[in-house]
Amino acid sequence: MGGMADDNRIVNTHQFEAWNGYEGRHWAEHQARYDALNDPANAPLLAAAALRDTDSVLDIGCGNGRLTRLAARTAARAVGVDLSAPMLERARESAAGEHLTHVTHLQADAQVHPFAPGSFDVALSRFGVMFFADPVAAFANIGRALRPEGRLAFVCPQPVTAMDQSAVFAAVAGHVTLPDFDERQETGPAAFADPARPGEVLSGAGFDTITVDPLEVVQEWGTDPADAAGFLFGWGPMRHWLREAAPESVARAHRAATDAFGAYATPEGVHLTARYWLVTATWPGTP
């Protein structure tokens, strides 16, 4: 944890290890691919945030920082906070490459970092808020960083079973054991898959005026099915699930995934429909 201030406590230690280990390195090394996958969420999320040129913006779990930089095109100041050193390195290099001098990055655990109270107008996140061990505490901490009437807007995935991705996982599961995607997940990508959950967490944390709307987008998985399957089999979670599987079974699963991606191949690339929740809320401030 070198380079971080003494008061910069990390409580989400498993997440810290994952995002500073294989998973974070994979995201950093494949920055453009992850952005191709996740960029379709940008415009609806930024529209919901309704940024102004006077706004000070906090991007939670900013990763390689795409959303932070897009927010900075409108906002007066944008700060990206993330656990992952390799991803923050990409974020800093990318901001410098775009000559954005009003963007800064902070390696910290957003659940507990002592942000200056009331110092942001808007908190945003593209898939960076599902990994808190204590989400109510985390959002209360983020809320305190907002000024009274400050806004929150984020996107998080609907259940995998609501997405085209589930057909690929079903093909893979014919050869290796995958997790039960119907099982409720407390922490991880599906933590807010149940649309009642963001409201429960946010109201518990002190936010009000909470909205949860469905968002359907088309994700770009790769240039062709083999490319898409190669990317999927490099994913940190996939590597974790398959760590004890026999190599022959993994090879068969990989071929099955390639075939399954074939159903979504177009001349422009492999396109899968994904479904998210677009969540907004307001921080009322301390009464």
Ligand X SMILES: C[S@@+](CC[C@H](N)C(=O)[O-])C[C@H]1O[C@@H](n2cnc3c(N)ncnc32)[C@H](O)[C@@H]1O
Backbone φ and ψ of 201, nearest 5°: -65, -45
3-state secondary structure of 149: strand
Distance in Å from the first CA to the final CA of the chain: 37
For ligand X, the closer of residues 217 and 250 by Cβ is: 217
Q: Is 105 in the site for ligand X (CB under 6 A)?
A: no
Could you tell me the two tokens for 4? Answer: 């971080």
87 binds ligand X (CB under 6 A): yes
Q: From the list 55, 57, 84, 144, which residue makes contact with ligand X (rule: CB under 6 A)? A: 84
Select from 51, 79, 83, 176 the one that contacts ligand X (CB under 6 A). 83
Of 56-64, 145-153, 176-184, 234-242, the window that binds ligand X (rule: CB under 6 A) is 56-64
Q: Roughly what angle, to the nearest 10 degrees, separates helices 196-205 and 135-145?
A: 60
Distance CA 16, CA 95 (A): 23
Q: Does 238 bind ligand X (CB under 6 A)?
A: no
- Establish if 94 lies at the interface with ligand X (CB under 6 A): no
| Contacting range for ligand X; rule: CB under 6 A; set: 48-56, 121-129, 194-202, 250-258 | 121-129
Angle between helices 13-20 and 22-29 (to 10 degrees): 40
| Interacting residue with ligand X among 115, 131, 169, 192 (CB under 6 A) | 131
Q: Which of 194, 193, 173 is nearest to 242 (CA)?
A: 173
Contact footprint for ligand X (CB under 6 A): 12, 15, 19, 34, 38, 61-64, 66-67, 81-84, 87, 109-111, 126-128, 131-132
